[in-house]
Amino acid sequence: MDNSGVFEALPGTIDVMRRDAHVLSTLPEGCAVASRAELLGTGVSKRVFSDGRLVRIARGLYCLPDIAADSRALVRAFAERCPEDAVIGGWSAAAVHGIRDAGPTMLSIDPQPVVAYFPRHEHKRPPGFAVMRIDLDPADIEIIDGVSVTGLTRTAYDMVRFTRPLPQAVAILDCFRWSGNPHTVDLDELANLCAAHPRHKGNPMVRLALPLSSSRSRSIAESRVRVRWITEVGVSPHLMLTNANLIADGACYELDLVDLSAGLVIEYDGPHHAGSEQRSIDAAKNAAVADAGLAMLRLNAPELRLGRAGFARLADERRTRAKAAGAHIRAATLVARNELAELPLTYY
């Protein structure tokens, strides 16, 4: 049945929305992921780019929400826009491997380009893609659902070495090391890959990130706080607990970070902490920390954006205050009693 012209006689905004819905539900093959110009060419209005019916998956590149939520379908759609011998990498490959926080905003609040490795004779870059002119070894490539993607170790290696600054690079490595992933990257394999390509750009960043990474960090922001605390405040990594558990009055409280040298608990409050349920949880945790004789510091996004000097001043002030109250002595006592320790993580 030819539906062309069905909506041409329908005036008004509602009719435009109906036409948009019809066009989006009947997008031609090859438009699962499409540029703005390609989608406008199908007849949709500009409204669909801002009303939630399309997801911006990269700069100038959009897809339907159900495609964005299915990493394998998304990567298949990306592959359709590339030469046959291309390899998909970056956040797209990380998502296929099931890596925590993998997605277009893994590196920035703005969607990042889709990373693809093209043969050297291919010069045309699709919209929304970043093309890597790097020769991959066969061992660096996996075939998943008929699509060539970089393997887990190679994906982590390239993402870490091209990420700046160091706290963000470590945060990306933490995503790959997260113990809740289907598969976690092996640090020895990553170090071996670095050694096998000694002249590759970004190797120093990988070497710096390896000893600072953790398999216990639950979020990118939390990882950034930990690394800044170590590199800018000067606290030794072995004096930092990540997602440690405080046992108090028969209850168990998970603490984002604990600076044992000061007895200071550090919590990062993301947007979800604004909810009433989370505020109640935070209040109970604050009370338990205070009753245990420890100090509490809650950080949010503006404080995490502070420059090196400002962040160090904030940390030094709170650490000095905590030590003056004897919190570091109390922390040592709790650790000795095993009432403050890194216990096996609970997965939500």
Q: Using 50, 70 and 90 to split pLDDT, how confident is the model at 7?
A: very low
* Measured CA distances, 107 to 66, 83, 90, 117, 164 (Å): 22, 26, 10, 19, 9
User: Are 149 and 142 spatial neighbours (Cβ–Cβ below 8 Å)?
Assistant: yes
Q: What is the pLDDT of residues 304-321, one digit of tens each?
A: 999 999 999 999 999 999
DSSP assigned state of 57: E
Q: What is the pLDDT of residues 166-179, one digit of tens each?
A: 999 999 999 999 99
* pLDDT at site 271: 86
Q: Is the peptide bond before 204 cis (omega within 30 degrees of 0)?
A: no
Q: Residue type for 330, please?
A: R
Q: What is the pLDDT of residues 45-55, one digit of tens each?
A: 788 887 878 88
Domain ranges of the chain: 12-67, 71-212, 220-341
Q: How remote is the C-alpha of 322 from its chain's centroid?
A: 31
- Tell me what the mean pLDDT of segment 153-180 comes to: 97
- Does pLDDT of 9 surpass 50? no
Q: What is the 3-state secondary structure (H, E, C) of 164-184?
A: CCHHHHHHHHHHHHCCCCCCC
Strands (E) located in the chain:
33-35, 55-58, 61-63, 87-88, 114-117, 129-132, 141-144, 147-150, 240-248, 251-259, 264-268, 295-299, 340-341
* pLDDT at site 60: 86
User: Are 335 and 293 spatial neighbours (Cβ–Cβ below 8 Å)?
Assistant: no
* pLDDT at site 6: 41
Q: How remote is the C-alpha of 253 from its chain's centroid?
A: 24
Q: Which CATH number fits domain 220-341: 3.40.960, 1.10.3470, 1.10.10, 3.40.50?
A: 3.40.960
- Does pLDDT of 129 surpass 90? yes
The closest of 125, 118, 151 to 61, measured between CA atoms, is 125
Strand bridging mode 129-132 / 114-117: parallel
- Tell me what the mean pLDDT of segment 320-335 comes to: 98
